[in-house]
Structure 1
Amino acid sequence: MIGRPVHCENRSKQPGRLPSGRTGMQWRGQPMHRFGTVASHSEYTTIPSSSAIKIRTDVPLTTVALIGCSVMTGVGAVLNTAQVPAGATVAIWGAGGIGLNVVQGAALASAGMIIAIDLLENKLEFARKFGATHTVNAGSTDPIGAVRDLTGRGVDYAFVATGNTRALEQAWASLANGATCVAIGMPGSGEMMQIPSRSIAGSERVLRGSFYGSARSRVDFPRMVELYRSGKLDIDGLINRRYTLAQADQAYRDLAAGDLARGIIVN
């Protein structure tokens, strides 16, 4: 067995429904679908037993809830997908909720240089807090030139934690020979990136995707919890605002404005 559940071919083909095709819940006679086949903004939900991951009970659920998406996606891209070795140089395009966890993953991997790239200065400040050794404001500085100046030859690993295809092209152009670009963000359907064909074979660069941090949830979720408990993974620090359900609209406005590292909605 390979053990790659994120690529399960038998997962539900019907968004918002259980693997059986049912929704599991109704409201006034109508089926209630759930975001991500799990839930969104609800205190209780119905899930298949295969989706329930046992973790220890001495950790706050409002904190470890973040493992379920941004933490696992970002940290996993570094530790699972790319398997970044100690001393490697790393650049991250996008310092949002996922990008900050790529930064944390690179720090956990003992990367020699961690360069965070974003358009917003407050997000770059977040990145420095979580372990970025260098930051680049792509709104005022050419990120390709900046990365090459900092590393002297190009970066060993470039992670793109944004759905912007231009960022993918910049990350590819910033690679050293034999280096790897990991695409995490999801561009819009039908969007295309352009890279020089000769730069693939000629420089032995690698472009690969990372979906959900290449996670094996039953193994990796408890692993993230232990990293959190040991103080090696800062999840509490990601949460810079808390909201009630009645403030959900404001939470989304703050997210769109780039004011959040991570915000959580609690009842």
Structure 2
Amino acid sequence: MAAEPPSTARKLATVGPAITETVVALGAGAQVVGVDDSSAPLAPGARKLGYQRVLSAEGLLSLGASLLLASKEAGPPTVLEQLRQSGMEVVIFANEPTVEATRHQLQEVARRIGREEQGRALSQALDEELARVASRLAPLDGGKRPKVLAIHARGAGALMVSGQHTAVDTLLRLSGGVNAIQGFEGHKALTAEAVVEAAPDILLVPVSTVKTVGGVEGLARLPALAMRKNWRVVTLEDGHFMALGPGMGQAVTRLADAFHPVQPGAR
């Protein structure tokens, strides 16, 4: 179904790449008039509102949007309350890194913007793609699964690793990989000691981070990574390191292909 013409559609502000990705995938991208910085590549025609944790009430209200859809990282709380007091509908999503939460978020966003039919279609497509990957990986049955170290940049010169209960950890599990970092949840600073202990087969890195450090050669020269040899690099779009959205099925398929290449004639 085609998107509503912008002249008659409800204006939306979206904060968080998974939320923005969902609205665009539902066909309502033309309604998005404002996004946080991390969502900007997904909605290039929308005004950038800055970092999601330090939003401005004035900036949001000036857009004329009647609905703000945001992940739990959005803030500060005083700004969100000011928006509510000014008459804007504010809906916050938990941003939990599970398939079930992602499916629920997709359907709830669809309901909020009146695109339930598109939401059901997206949910079905997501389930089908995940099922195809699971079926393909089933013969592994505990067999060789590569140890993957997921790293990303946070600020100038700061590299982080992803532990459990993160979007990346879920993607690794679904795509037949093993998170090389165990024993903590969330993200922490990358250290040479952690890399040596993790002994990864693969480095999973956002596209932008690879560019920032000077490509694969630049990664190999980083002090925290130089002590570990014989790893290979797999890249993924930046948004998948932050949250799970309707594109997670495609991300899982891409990672499964990278971790477990299909031999010629095997399909």
Shorter-chain TM range is 0.3 to 0.5
Q: Which has the higher helix share?
A: 2
TM-score normalised per structure 1: 0.36
Q: TM-score, normalised by structure 2?
A: 0.36
